[in-house]
Amino acid sequence: MISLSSILATLFLLLGSILFGYGLITNGDPMYTKSLGWNLNLIWGSVVFCVGILFGLGNWLSNRIPQKEKN
């Protein structure tokens, strides 16, 4: 059965990689003057990607811990 954390991990990893990739492609673009020259797509893309890694790590760790059977 697919858990909610694995779905969230996949979505966060996908969204983070899209944002990060867009930030890499548009690096140095004049649109970043509105955000004081900060490439927010790179910053938030890496943050969202790291959150996806944390969700995936939590899912992997929870699957490794043996569950007690209920009778």
Confidence at residue 41, expressed as pLDDT on a 0 to 100 scale: 93
Higher-confidence residue of 49 and 68: namely: 49
More confident residue, 20 or 71: 20
What tens digit of pLDDT does each residue of 22-48 get?
999 998 888 888 888 899 999 999 999
Give residue 71's pLDDT: 61
Cα separation of the two ends of the chain:
20
- Cα Dmax for the chain: 64
Helix (H), strand (E) at residue 26: none
- Domain holding 19, by residue range, is 4-64
Considering the domain boundaries, does residue 70 fall inside one?
no
- Cβ-contact 39, 32 below 8 angstroms: yes
Give the number of domains in the chain: 1
Whether residue 1 is predicted with pLDDT greater than 90 in this model: the reply is no
